[in-house]
Amino acid sequence: HTMILEGTIKNVKQVDLYVYAEGGTNPYIDTIRVRGGEFTYERRLSGPEVLTLLFPNFYEIPLIAKPGEEVRLIADASNLSATVVKGTKENELLTEFRHATNGKGDSEKRLAAQQFIYDNVTTLAAVAIFREQFVKAESPLYSEVQPLLDTLSVAQPHNENFRSMLVRFTPQLLC
């Protein structure tokens, strides 16, 4: 089964983006070539994955990819925080979170992330937000991380993306 990611990026003619998956059983990185502000990326997937789209300025956008589904990205290179990812409910949730927390401080983002995770605990979107706001944080707070880990572990016991993230990142989170 193949997932398709199509995109339009205003104010850019040609650029290379990177897309990578850290979770699941097969981490990888690929290049997406944007030409004329447009791109199409296809990838065979064995199951749902959390992907991260990396822009040349190191801005990252998490997205959810599922076999057989199409995802659409609409961005403006001059304002990447306003990027819209649509096509699936979980990507729309991630877009709403990104827009709602744009311009907020780290502590406000972490509080919003905690609420998002509790409200969407059974989704890959919750795993994506956990990774973005806590795993990749410069100094994650154990008091915030542990209850979220416990909640996600109970809610998603068979989620390969979450389990592989736990194995790889738990030691650094709990230091």
CB 17 within 8 A of CB 5: no
175 residues of the chain, pLDDT tens digit each? 899 999 999 999 999 999 998 766 667 899 999 999 999 999 999 889 999 999 999 999 999 999 999 999 999 999 999 999 999 999 999 999 999 999 999 889 999 999 999 999 999 999 999 989 988 777 767 778 888 988 998 998 888 778 777 776 666 555 5
pTM, rounded to two decimals: 0.88
Sheet holding 14-21, edge to edge: 60-65, 49-54, 14-21, 28-35, 38-44, 2-10, 70-76, 84-86
Query: Tell me, what DSSP letter sits at residue 69?
Result: -
Task: Give the Cα separation of 33 and 83 in Å (integer).
Answer: 18
